[in-house]
Structure 1
């Protein structure tokens, strides 16, 4: 357990039953005892996991009737999950009672804020299991447990990256029990409470030993996942909440309390009243968020809905810190005292850091708040931003130093070092009254009359009133000059919208990415093993800068850690890095770190310590690009790159010619100076993407912007560039033999093979379970598509005569068998009634859909804000270097697929020109992957213009570049080859555009 985890431990006195009854007077009480723990995985976890793995087989044992009278085997995956959860909850209510909190906190451990963190990670659990089972650390099993990300030895090699799977593999060889144990859910919760309260290994070890003694290996596997809060059962909390109560998700969003959801909403027939939907004291809520900016200041202002009588909007500086909410209530233990609580946007409690009262000696902030409120203020909830303030510079310190500053303030108060500063911009509760329904203008008036600012500790965030776009531009120029993050425009007539991203608050950010941030040459000095499908191989790399103080000898060089780079690699890039570094990697030994070559931050703590390290003289130079540079105490450089992405290998450079510490600082200083002298441009992209600068202007000459770019062409080329392995005949929706299906595919441009391995990316087609199909399904590496998809594609393109040949996205009904990574993508192509978003529906299908509408409740509806929140969270992960799911790869980007518009002789038959087929296929791919399509250069927000270089002359390309330069707007699209789309799709990551340029 590290220092931060120790600080974060909640040492409050445990609540007694009397305390809980007083706090929740109407909480439910179960009639019977809770189930054994193994019921959770037998009745819930395993069935949900099976749905992920096996979606098409309909084994008799699982043919249970679903919610609408259909066999569970014939429900789509979403319905099957819901069916499993409904049966589990219904049985719990019948056999145990209405209090499902004991079970739900084990099913959704990451949502249970009432149980503190355990301070245990994979390595700590692995060490305890080695001791409990008395395994030699050097043995195969000991090595596999302690080095779970490494490829592993023996049978454990296949579990690389899956810690719980590794544990199960080892525990299965040494079980104390073969059959499921007798520990009840209540007992498990009691032991986990003790485990979270234990701060030392010798206190935790007896608890883990009892778990080992009373549970079988499968129970322990799921227990470990509960402790790590990494369940991965294939069902989100939203589905579980929806089944439990229609208001459950809403209540969790405003309270972040799983206990409150279970105890206040135990009766699904009793709905929340209006006053119960507001914020509550000392209960973390999900705050209002600012909407992404529009493409012009005028549109931003228009979204504020100004009136003739009141067209004012407010301009605030966007602060570069951490969103924080402060709650204050009377402290009953002291006369006139006050008790404080602090929570971040992600519902993490920071009271331990900033203080629980004015007399809290460990409080980095509250000790200064004795006179911060006027007399008469008993309780209050404030919304604001916690930032770091440097008193010597009298300026805000950039993002990344807040916790360090708070800890320094705890140890040495009143010092002249950087300190936390809370900037308040809203008040939501005052003396028992919910203020969220009042306008922002009224709330600000209440804030000014309630709070007394404490200089450079606790302040009200200022704002300016404005009415025109010119005032926004002036304010933006000012914050750019001060190197600030941007602006937030607010509608003073608006209420506070909990857990919403609304147009009443709009971000406006300058795009001030400079050239040095696009191409930095850094040296690989360490590597990290991946998890999940990346397990067993180095998937991200620690990169460093050469220390200028060292001698220029290979044996005396030292590199400072600078950044971790985990995105932008193709499979070929990984292979090339492995090829050039094979046999040169060494395992990192924390007791004997290679300080002669590598210097990490944190001294003995060794921040960002890699799994493996390599001598810089044996290593490679990477060219990387990033969104920005940020201060960070996690890297020896003191700075790091935000959202770095691999660009290319620099084989022409070695460690001596790569970037040094001083060279980087010089680059940074020069770039900032140049930037201050340049005009800013409005960042119109939802993604944090780097502005690309080029030596020559890019554009499209001879291109008529008034003409829509369409890929019109004849039928017969739907399956061009695709390979098929057809295994059975077709019976639905019409009967066709295997040879007839093969002829259909060939007539539409596809290629036929008699094995799934004869060609790359072969699509396997089958409708019944033959020996060959069963073998392929058992392998589990490839999806199997029903022949009905082929027929639907052909039929749709007959209907859409005159439009481009576009493949239909797969629907659940098209899939005979799906691999795990396909489920979410396929389910997203139909609505909750299985109505296709892309395919025309026939009369019989419409009748069936209408029947389902009559039977189905609205519980399945995914509201816009939930979808948007999911999209934002996913985008943040993608930006941070995670592998994007197929359907999210290009989300947020807008593509224009440009084909030669020179008039062609009209063909005698409807045959698509061969040179356009590649663009058409790439267009289909981009649609599958979430990209928006533009039809003309006049379309706003185009991020990429995609061309097939082989189809355009040099004159066409020159004309295209000229048109791009003349295109209105401040940000020029990337002009890339169609190969960029193909390779991004193939590798599952956004690759650097400069690797796929259009020819000159």
Structure 2
């Protein structure tokens, strides 16, 4: 993400840069809509459909005044209709650039605008300050403690924007919609994202408050928080804009590209435009959620009886990161890097943009991380934190801290980033997403050279049964890992999809302690969204026993141990509320109940709850968990991973709930039992060896063993030429883009992926894709059809004598012609389209003959004398240098006389005619450049030709005498028709005495 796109110090220059980067960028012909048009005609109607069932009167009314929301339409159809009508109105009244609106409609997909650094708490404080509200008042508390139920209605609990509306509507500066346009709102939001301090952000929010009514400001707050929830997904919006919008977003993560490159629904993405590209963030494949049964999961991984193997990988507790590496032409042998998270956040500043980036926490260690011949890659993996002293992984929350420490001291012994790669999606210009996981892993193993504890390939195990999954899961649980991912080795890579080919298995179903944990509830946390307005998760604690106070809650203490929020049903929550109703107390940070409940962190009060309850009034929850881990967030000094509610223990109270010592005993027993179980497994189960891949992946240009499908002959016809191939070829031969590039390389050409990478780049395309349309719009370069490449190579293969002289462009070769080049190109073929410089195929000749009756010669360009002489001189120069002559040049300079059947002395006896063989041969000789004489006395005859099959000895003798008797002239050679035939067949003049 370019900084000049986010911080427009000079808007004029930025506009010019964007126009250069996006030459096909649309421009609106009218100002953008007012901001209130968005919520009145889009957000509100969509939200109403979300609330009301399809077919209701309100849904029909909100769907529009033209009857398009008639009863019977599904909610999806109603939503799509609203969106399509909004887009159509924008195109009609504003123009084709919908990017300003989409930035506000899909704020979470707009990575061109930096994060605001403003959450609910900060916005609440700003609004209290802007509206001059007393913090201790009801409205002040409504904004500052937005999760707590309202003291009046409570209907907006958990919905921060809704709570803001409750307060704003009481003290609006305007009641009617404001006049701010969508473009003006975007400009102010850009300033808000740049502002780094609260005192800089508050005036901007205050300006919004002055110019917007409460409903507008409520929607603006949702945009800032990137929590729209209008009931329409980005997929629905993308499909309504352009059929390929979702595909382009998946490969680029750029809302701007979706809006600007796909502004015309009639121009579709094709070929390489649908694939991932270097230095372009894509949306990665995601793992499907865990099913209830391991057997069902395994069955999905085994589509055939012949191949039942699936792979098991450890699910790393880190951050999903994609790494891009490309050549850096500014430095000899240099490489440039880019890193993006799953949410398309750019982390290049943290991990490094090159091998010598002094601020790079990772790249400076990757000098020897790639095999010889690897020029460019895209990797998918997990960035984790590794502690060299403990030789173990560190919890996820320390990753950024470790990276910053590594930037400052790259050779410290403290925790550092470790990138574990599990997939490769691009290698040396070839996209690998369509290959199977097996093939991709094979390419990965060949391409990378791991750097110990900095850059490694994530290992996997092969398995065939559900039992093996559970064994692996118990192993990673013991190592405090996050879980497993099961993968189908026969699967392709699916951008931005959750599919059964990848399934994650988290150990939240397991109870490694032999029995569940019965924990006392001491605190509660209010939920958001659907759980807003009531306590949705609970702080559980362990009782600290001592001899004097174990039976007295007034002196007993409880140490915070874990938070439990998963596993509850609506009925469970209702039962908890029924039992504890009226017993909860608001947690006061200034006067915490430390005589009963101890939190971690001292005065910082880690994991401080919103409400607390006396243990004697509380309930006991039966909780299951995966494992025990160290934690500074809880007073116990440890906690459990993946705790989930199992049941309510009505038969227990604070006296019989789990104590600290009882928990430690359980932990010790569980560890001993697990060691014994692991010992048995390790001795009974043989280690499975990885199966060799039958068909290793072959990547063009990777190394000496790499290859691709044969694309054509090799030579030097394209030496020193630069090419930008944009599409595949369908005529005269079907070749993919990769095959065309290979054909160019094999014949001496250089391939680039942009027309600006090198001077005089020849652009090649056969269909109008987004890239092609962009070049056409600029209009400063010709676009050549792939048929020209194929014609050049074919002419070279035929040994026509011009192996390093490329063919001139002809009209049939041109996909797009610059205005000032049209005349120059048109003269390279005659009025019928017949080339002056290359051989014509049978099919092309038939087409020319069919069109001859419809082409007007006078309207066709004529090859001027100077051009003709220039072409002839170049060809003759090559022939004189020893190259074989073109077939149309074979008999050039020779004059043939074909002897008639019954004429030997040149006299006309009324029966002059050639037999069929000589008549056809005369046409061939004429095509090959020979001058055809009508009589033996014609001047300049070089060869007299007779039919070798029908000429009798007497006829030959008579013709020989007639030739010798010609006065004052060089005697022509007497040859048979076989000499002409064989010379034409071999493309060269043969020895006349042999024929």
Tell me, yes or no, if structure 1 residue 147 matches structure 2 residue 145.
yes
**1:116 match: secondary structure:** coil
**1:249 match: secondary structure:** helix
TM-score (norm 2): 0.60
1:343 to 340, 343, 349: 340
Q: Which moved more, 1:33-42 or 1:156-165?
A: 156-165
CA distance in 2, matches of 1:282, 1:112: 18
CA distance in 1, matches of 2:173, 2:540: 45
Per the alignment, residue 585 of structure 2 pairs with 585
Superposition deviation, residue 640 in structure 1:
3.2
Deviations 1:204-227 (A, max 9, x none): 001001000111111101111111
* Correspondence 1:702-721 to 2 at 5 A: none
Tell me, yes or no, if structure 1 residue 612 matches structure 2 residue 605.
no
2:211 to 210, 214, 219: 214
**2:557 match: secondary structure:** coil
Tell me, yes or no, if structure 1 residue 177 matches structure 2 residue 170.
no
Per the alignment, residue 620 of structure 2 pairs with 621
CA distance in 2, matches of 1:505, 1:466: 14
CA distance in 2, matches of 1:531, 1:484: 29
Superposition deviation, residue 258 in structure 1:
1.8
Superposition deviation, residue 147 in structure 1:
1.6
* Correspondence 1:472-871 to 2 at 5 A: 494-501=491-498, 513-514=510-511, 516=513, 519-546=516-543, 552=549, 554-555=554-555, 557-565=557-565, 567-568=567-568, 571=571, 574=574, 577=577, 579-580=579-580, 582-589=582-589, 593-594=592-593, 597-601=596-600, 606-616=605-615, 619-626=618-625, 629=628, 634-636=633-635, 637-650=637-650, 652-654=652-654, 657-678=656-677
Superposition deviation, residue 100 in structure 1:
1.0
CA distance in 1, matches of 2:3, 2:603: 26
Contact 2:59–2:69, Cα closer than 8 Å, also in 1: no
Tell me, yes or no, if structure 1 residue 325 matches structure 2 residue 307.
no
Structure 1 residues 601 and 190, CA gap change in structure 2 (3 angstroms): farther
Deviations 1:920-947 (A, max 9, x none): xxxxxxxxxxxxxxxxxxxxxxxxxxxx
Per the alignment, residue 801 of structure 2 pairs with none
CA distance in 1, matches of 2:358, 2:233: 41
**2:672 match: secondary structure:** helix
Contact 2:622–2:646, Cα closer than 8 Å, also in 1: yes
Deviations 1:145-177 (A, max 9, x none): 2122222234x6432222212211221222111
Contact 2:507–2:642, Cα closer than 8 Å, also in 1: no
Per the alignment, residue 797 of structure 1 pairs with none
Superposition deviation, residue 180 in structure 1:
1.0
**1:80 match: secondary structure:** helix
CA distance in 2, matches of 1:314, 1:63: 50
CA distance in 1, matches of 2:531, 2:161: 16
Per the alignment, residue 423 of structure 2 pairs with 426
**1:158 match: secondary structure:** coil
Structure 1 residues 574 and 467, CA gap change in structure 2 (3 angstroms): closer
Per the alignment, residue 205 of structure 1 pairs with 202
1:234 to 217, 231, 235: 231
Deviations 1:285-337 (A, max 9, x none): 23334566862898567437857xxx987665554544332123456887765
Structure 1 residues 515 and 107, CA gap change in structure 2 (3 angstroms): same
Contact 1:630–1:642, Cα closer than 8 Å, also in 2: no
CA distance in 2, matches of 1:485, 1:417: 23
Deviations 1:169-202 (A, max 9, x none): 2212221112111111111111111112222110
CA distance in 2, matches of 1:529, 1:469: 39
| Matched positions, count | 668
Tell me, yes or no, if structure 1 residue 264 matches structure 2 residue 264.
no
Contact 1:211–1:220, Cα closer than 8 Å, also in 2: yes
Deviations 1:258-294 (A, max 9, x none): 2222122211111111211111233332333456686
Per the alignment, residue 160 of structure 2 pairs with 163
Deviations 1:954-982 (A, max 9, x none): xxxxxxxxxxxxxxxxxxxxxxxxxxxxx
Superposition deviation, residue 81 in structure 1:
1.3
Per the alignment, residue 453 of structure 1 pairs with 450
Tell me, yes or no, if structure 1 residue 138 matches structure 2 residue 136.
yes
**1:26 match: secondary structure:** coil
CA distance in 2, matches of 1:355, 1:660: 49
CA distance in 1, matches of 2:46, 2:302: 47
2:365 to 368, 383, 395: 368
CA distance in 1, matches of 2:151, 2:462: 66
Which runs of 5 or more residues in structure 2 are unaligned? 9-13, 682-995
Per the alignment, residue 387 of structure 1 pairs with 384
**RMSD (Å), alpha carbons:** 4.2
Contact 2:22–2:260, Cα closer than 8 Å, also in 1: yes
Deviations 1:428-459 (A, max 9, x none): 12344323234445544443443332111111
Contact 1:543–1:562, Cα closer than 8 Å, also in 2: yes
Structure 1 residues 644 and 277, CA gap change in structure 2 (3 angstroms): same
Contact 1:529–1:539, Cα closer than 8 Å, also in 2: yes
1:14 to 7, 23, 29: 7
CA distance in 1, matches of 2:205, 2:650: 49
Contact 2:295–2:466, Cα closer than 8 Å, also in 1: no
Superposition deviation, residue 668 in structure 1:
2.7
Structure 1 residues 620 and 427, CA gap change in structure 2 (3 angstroms): same
Contact 2:543–2:559, Cα closer than 8 Å, also in 1: yes
**1:159 match: secondary structure:** coil
Structure 1 residues 569 and 487, CA gap change in structure 2 (3 angstroms): closer
CA distance in 1, matches of 2:599, 2:399: 20
Contact 2:623–2:643, Cα closer than 8 Å, also in 1: no
**1:180 match: secondary structure:** coil
Structure 1 residues 548 and 361, CA gap change in structure 2 (3 angstroms): farther
Contact 2:63–2:82, Cα closer than 8 Å, also in 1: no
Q: Which has the higher contact order (CA 8 A, sep 6+)?
A: 1
1:286 to 278, 283, 288: 283
CA distance in 2, matches of 1:482, 1:673: 15
Structure 1 residues 258 and 58, CA gap change in structure 2 (3 angstroms): same
**2:155 match: secondary structure:** helix
Contact 2:42–2:83, Cα closer than 8 Å, also in 1: yes
1:51 to 46, 49, 52: 49
Per the alignment, residue 110 of structure 2 pairs with 112
CA distance in 2, matches of 1:338, 1:604: 49
Contact 1:486–1:509, Cα closer than 8 Å, also in 2: yes
Contact 1:380–1:430, Cα closer than 8 Å, also in 2: yes
Contact 1:252–1:258, Cα closer than 8 Å, also in 2: yes
**1:342 match: secondary structure:** strand
CA distance in 2, matches of 1:449, 1:406: 28
Contact 1:623–1:650, Cα closer than 8 Å, also in 2: no
* Correspondence 1:66-105 to 2 at 5 A: 72=70, 75-105=73-103
CA distance in 2, matches of 1:143, 1:151: 10
Structure 1 residues 63 and 547, CA gap change in structure 2 (3 angstroms): closer
Contact 2:544–2:559, Cα closer than 8 Å, also in 1: yes
Q: Which moved more, 1:323-332 or 1:451-460?
A: 323-332
Q: Which moved more, 1:467-476 or 1:491-500?
A: 467-476
**1:267 match: secondary structure:** coil
Structure 1 residues 212 and 378, CA gap change in structure 2 (3 angstroms): farther
Per the alignment, residue 841 of structure 1 pairs with none
CA distance in 2, matches of 1:191, 1:477: 53
Contact 2:252–2:282, Cα closer than 8 Å, also in 1: yes
**1:79 match: secondary structure:** helix
Superposition deviation, residue 39 in structure 1:
0.6
CA distance in 1, matches of 2:535, 2:160: 16
Superposition deviation, residue 45 in structure 1:
1.1
Contact 1:318–1:486, Cα closer than 8 Å, also in 2: yes
Contact 1:512–1:680, Cα closer than 8 Å, also in 2: no
Superposition deviation, residue 84 in structure 1:
0.9
